[in-house]
Structure 1
Amino acid sequence: MIVIDNKLISDDVIEKQFVCDLSKCKGGCCEDGDAGAPLEEAELKLVNEYYEVVKPYLTQPAIKEIEKKGNYEYDEEFGWVTPTLPSDNEICVYAYREPDGLIKCAFEQAYNEGKIPWKKPISCHLYPIIAYKGKHGDYERLNYEPRKKMCSPACKLGKSLQVPVYKFLKEPLTRKYGQEFYAVLDQIATRNDDNPAE
């Protein structure tokens, strides 16, 4: 376990390797789960603000589902989440499927095209790291939780390229926790590499 300020980070974050292999998984994390993408309180406003911008990317069934449920909904276990589309394997309403089967995020596509300044929910950006709020006290747990079957190509690719999870996720980790946090995490990981027996 690694402790940085009030963050409890699983050793797997620096010890395991991972690089998304979209050609194999087709973005399956956008439809494989027990609920939609978890949203932070501050992100609710962003979803509302950018909905009209991303609406042209969405499927008609997704738009109907959003009109019925709202731009987000509350889940007893996960808190605020994006709605999902039951008729399409519980895919996130803000995702759409390309002809080749690749699932893309409407927010990320709009971001890549320079239409909005917000990339996507941080929970999506951080995956396969999942951040849990502490039940007792002001802390967070960061666990490495790839899906066993779906993410096996990413684990294999990460291992072959020798890319640790935290390095693959440098952008979202820095986005959520700041450059100083990432620098400390990198120092700890580098020190562990230099002293593997410790």
Structure 2
Amino acid sequence: MFQLGKTIVSEAIIEKDFVCNLSACKGACCVDGDAGAPLTEDEAKILKDIYPKLKPFLRKAGIEAIEKQGASVVTVFNEIETPLINGADCAYVIFDNKKTALCGIEEAYNQGEITWKKPVSCHLYPIRVKDYSEFSAVNYDKWEICDDACTLGKELGVPVYKFVKEALIRKFGEDWYMELENVAEKHK
């Protein structure tokens, strides 16, 4: 672990390799698990505000889940997440013609309907950030459904922090990311 500003960062994000391999996993991270994507209060408000523009991009089951549960949900632990369809798929998941899970929010963004790409927790994955009162913990989340992403990342020589560069800059800023790159270079 090392410290960058008000973050404590796991060395795994500079030591491990990762490149999403959707042809292998089919977007399993959006349909497996037992919780929705973590959201901030601001992101929950954004989702509520942009829902009318997202609706045409979503599946019927996703629309039903959102209209029943809301654009976001609060868990028993008082955490905000995306709603799920029957406790499984994220309500914002859509599928392409190869049955690969994609993000309906990101599809609306890509088509110019909205200006917000997707929740930062999704954008950062496989990095998870846990905010505490004095600092944020930045960790690599190892999940066996991403083994193919680790293999592809190793083949291509792309460490986790480079794979999620845009998301890390979005979350922590360009200066923070440049410091991270300096640490990674010295770590080699």
Structure 1 counterpart of 2:124: 126
Per-residue Cα deviation, 1:7-26 (whole angstroms, up to 9, x for no partner): 01100010110000010011
Task: Indicate the larger mover: 12-21 or 71-80.
Answer: 71-80
Structure 1 counterpart of 2:48: 48
How far, CA to CA, are the matches of 2:161 and 2:70 in structure 1?
A: 34
Task: Indicate the larger mover: 7-16 or 33-42.
Answer: 33-42
How far, CA to CA, are the matches of 1:115 and 1:190 in structure 2?
A: 39
Structure 1 counterpart of 2:112: 114
Contact 1:129 1:144 in 2 (8 A): yes
Pairwise CA distance, 1:52: 0.7
Per-residue Cα deviation, 1:102-140 (whole angstroms, up to 9, x for no partner): 111111001111111100000000000000122xx3211
Residue ranges of structure 2 left out of the alignment (5+ in a row): none
How far, CA to CA, are the matches of 2:110 and 2:38 in structure 1?
A: 22
Residue ranges of structure 1 left out of the alignment (5+ in a row): 194-198
Among all aligned residue pairs of Structure 1 and Structure 2, give the percentage whose two residues are the same amino acid.
43
2:138 counterpart of 1:142: yes
1:82-101 maps to which residues of 2 (within 5 A)?
82-86=82-86, 90-101=88-99
The residue type paired with residue 110 of structure 1 is A
How far, CA to CA, are the matches of 2:78 and 2:22 in structure 1?
A: 26
Contact 1:17 1:162 in 2 (8 A): yes
1:61-100 maps to which residues of 2 (within 5 A)?
61-77=61-77, 79-86=79-86, 90-100=88-98
The residue type paired with residue 47 of structure 2 is V
How far, CA to CA, are the matches of 2:166 and 2:98 in structure 1?
A: 27
Structure 2 counterpart of 1:196: none
Contact 1:38 1:78 in 2 (8 A): no
Provide the TM-score with structure 1 as the length reference.
0.91
The residue type paired with residue 140 of structure 1 is S
The residue type paired with residue 127 of structure 1 is Y
Provide the TM-score with structure 2 as the length reference.
0.96
